[in-house]
């Protein structure tokens, strides 16, 4: 059994062990694989593991030994699942390994906006507190979350966890999800998308990127938001029209944005959001706590063992 990991570095930059995977079969692990080398590196593989390396129809048809593609993530748009199914190749993903970590980052953004911990720390270190005539001061408005409205678009596992945390702060939670409309949840009010943008003090995105949700956040919807509201995106960069968001922030139409994802990653230096005030951008780290990556590695191995036993799990192309 030959296993090839095309881009293992993001999941395991050296602080995890590949031993469990290696115990399954002959395993070759590459930190990164450029497109031009995919076929050469995977030519004898029965199992391919990929995170962001694209496995398209041409690649699938050119690998006669291939039986299984495992995606080292929840999103699996990097694989042509239809082409794989046509050749009888199983494709799996890893759901629900990063729920806690992504929800945590969502509130890291929000709490930074409401208390400006970084800005105040810089002020203190620069000596401003030392010469203050008062025992305290603040460089920006301090905002209490209690009683504010938290709007969620996408009420899957991460959306639900975010809602629970928001409620623990005493926030009112409204959410959009087709399933939520037909199956109401206690203490979470269903709302249409435009209503969420107009009523919320915080709008947080937790829906998948599809043709229907691409640029869901556009100039029109940003115009519905309160001028003191925040947008948080820990989902997919393509959910947001980045130029429209930059314009809204530059003109004060909304108070701030926290983004862990951009439409192109790594971003181009001319991405308009990189030059905007009142924005925090992290390099797609919401999923990457060590605890989450340990769970990810465990499920990757379990997926392969299940496939080899004839009972594949987490299959995305049945």
Instruction: Kindly name the residue from 120, 284, 302, 305 that is annotated as catalytic.
Output: 284
284 classed as catalytic: yes
Is 318 within a domain? Answer: no
Instruction: Kindly name the residue from 122, 128, 192, 265 that is annotated as catalytic.
Output: 265
115 classed as catalytic: no
Task: Quote the domain boundaries for residue 295.
Answer: 2-97+290-308
Does 164 lie in the same domain as 23? no
Does 175 lie in the same domain as 120? yes
Does 300 lie in the same domain as 269? no
Judge whether residue 179 has pLDDT over 90: no
Identify the residue whose tokens are 């919807």.
221
Identify the residue whose tokens are 């699996």.
76
- DSSP structural state of residue 268: P
- The backbone region for 187, taken as left when phi is positive above 0, alpha when psi lies in -120 to 50, beta otherwise, is left
Judge whether residue 180 has pLDDT over 90: no
Does 149 lie in the same domain as 24? no
Does 259 lie in the same domain as 119? yes
Is 69 within a domain? Answer: yes
Residues 289 and 105 sit within 8 Å (Cβ to Cβ): no
Tell which residue, 141, 249, 252, 152, has the closest CA to residue 202. Answer: 152
Query: What was the pLDDT predicted at 183?
Result: 82
Does 241 lie in the same domain as 114? yes
Is 110 within a domain? Answer: yes
The whole-angstrom separation of Cα 311 and Cα 87 is: 18
Instruction: Kindly name the residue from 236, 242, 293, 295 that is annotated as catalytic.
Output: 236
The CATH code of the domain that includes 48 is 3.40.50.720
265 classed as catalytic: yes
Does 157 lie in the same domain as 86? no
Does 160 lie in the same domain as 85? no
**pLDDT single digits (tens) 49-103:** 999 999 999 999 999 999 999 999 998 989 999 999 999 999 999 999 999 999 9
Judge whether residue 173 has pLDDT over 90: yes
**pLDDT single digits (tens) 190-222:** 999 999 999 999 999 999 888 999 999 999 999
- DSSP structural state of residue 240: B
Average pLDDT over all residues of the chain = 96
Mean pLDDT value of segment 256-268: 96
């Amino acid at each position: 059994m030959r296993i090839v990991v095309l881009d293992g570095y993001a999941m395991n930059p050296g602080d995890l062990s590949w031993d469990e995977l290696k115990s399954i079969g002959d395993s070759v692990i590459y930190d990164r694989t450029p497109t031009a080398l995919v076929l050469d590196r995977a030519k004898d593989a029965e199992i391919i593991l990929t995170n962001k390396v694209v496995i398209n129809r041409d690649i699938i048809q050119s690998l006669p030994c291939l039986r299984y593609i495992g995606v080292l993530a929840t999103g699996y748009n990097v694989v042509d699942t239809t082409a794989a199914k046509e050749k009888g190749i199983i494709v799996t993903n890893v759901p629900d390994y990063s729920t806690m970590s992504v929800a945590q980052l969502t509130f890291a953004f929000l709490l930074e906006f409401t208390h400006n911990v970084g800005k105040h720390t810089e002020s203190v270190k620069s000596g401003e507190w030392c010469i203050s005539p008062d025992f305290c001061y603040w460089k920006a408005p301090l905002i209490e979350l209690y009683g504010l409205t938290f709007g969620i678009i996408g009420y899957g596992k991460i959306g639900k966890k975010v809602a629970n945390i928001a409620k623990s702060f005493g926030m009112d939670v409204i959410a959009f999800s087709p399933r939520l409309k037909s199956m109401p949840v206690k203490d979470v009010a269903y709302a249409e998308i435009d209503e969420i943008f107009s009523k919320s003090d915080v709008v947080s995105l937790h829906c998948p990127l599809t043709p229907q949700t691409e640029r869901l956040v556009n100039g029109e919807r940003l115009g519905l938001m309160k001028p003191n509201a925040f947008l948080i995106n820990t989902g997919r960069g393509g959910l947001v029209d980045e130029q429209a968001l930059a314009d809204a922030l530059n003109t004060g139409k909304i108070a701030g944005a926290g983004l862990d994802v951009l439409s192109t990653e790594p971003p181009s230096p001319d991405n308009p959001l990189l030059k905007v005030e009142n924005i925090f951008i992290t390099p797609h780290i919401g999923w990457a706590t060590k605890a989450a990556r340990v769970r990810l590695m465990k499920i990757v191995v379990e997926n392969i063992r299940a496939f080899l036993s004839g009972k594949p799990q987490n299959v995305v192309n049945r």
